[in-house]
Structures are given as C-alpha cells and as structure tokens.
Amino acid sequence: MKRTFDIDLSCRPVVGLADEYPAGFTDPAHTHDRIQLLYASSGVMSVVTDKTSYVIPPQRAVWIPSGVTHEVSCRGPVSLRSLYIDPKYERDDPDCHIVEVSQLLKALIIEVTQFPLEETLDARGNQIVDLMISEMLASPKIPYAAPMPNDRRLVRVCRQMLEDPAD
C-alpha cells in the first residue's frame, strides 16, 4: 500500500490512491499541502478536525482544504479512495464539508485512483481529471457535521466519546 509520504503529490493536478483499512483503524491528526477528498466506496469513516466532527457514509465524501488538521477513523472495514488536489482548486470556504457523490463522480474518482502513479497523464487522463474536478466543484455541500466545542474540558469528553461510542 502506497501512502502519501511515499509519492510525489505535485506530479499532476490530482493524485489518487485506493486503500483498504480494517475496522478500528485510525490515522492520527495530520495535514496535507493539498486539498484532500476522502471517499469511502464502502464502509463508514469519521473525520475530526479542531472545529468539527463528520461521519461519512458511502455516497458522500469529505472535502478537506489544504492545511486543515484532521484525524480519520474507520468504524468498520473501509474501502477508501483519497484524492490529493492542487490547492488552486480551493473553494472560498476554508472549512471541511461533505459533498454528495453522484454515480458519475464515483466512477471518475475510481478511475483516477487507478491511474499509474509513475506515469504522466495522457489526453484521456487529463480529460477525466478535468471532468472530475468540474463535478466535484459542482457537487452540493451536505450539512452532515457536528461542531466541536470550544471548552477544552468538553473537547476532551467529546474526543473520548468519538474514540469509543459504545462507552
């Protein structure tokens, strides 16, 4: 499995990775220099930032602007598709948000994550990336988010609940 630190993310406008994660997997708090779009083609994941907590079911994705600290947790097994997008495509909104993933956008995301990382995109690949970016930017934002509290004591309690919802 290739991770972001194993590859050159600046080699093209969008770099896609496909990963499989087991139930209980957590990717600790981190940031990226690029926009990240996280799409679980199966399974449910949660993403927590300093400001908000998101639960992302299939048919939804989370748009994470560059530089936003986030932690990803998998409730059950997750088939994850991650896109790392050139920051020139940043939206005006500096916060993360959930986007609807249409059948077309799903197909484009899956296709982009299958492009060989070592190769330059041909004309077809560039057209697919351009269409995918257009579809992503046109996707409606979905209001699936719970704001994190400002009080550090309450943040601690909320994080404990997120780590073990059954407790």
38-69 pLDDT, tens digit each: 999 999 998 988 888 888 888 899 999 999 99
- Residue spans of the domains in the chain: they are 4-160
- Give whole-number Cα distances, 49 to 69, 104, 132, in Å: 6, 28, 25
Reported pTM: 0.81
88-137 pLDDT, tens digit each: 998 777 788 889 899 999 999 999 999 988 888 899 999 999 999 999 98
Measured between alpha carbons, how far is 44 from 150 in angstroms, rounded to an integer? 26
Q: Which fold has domain 4-160?
A: Jelly Rolls (2.60.120)
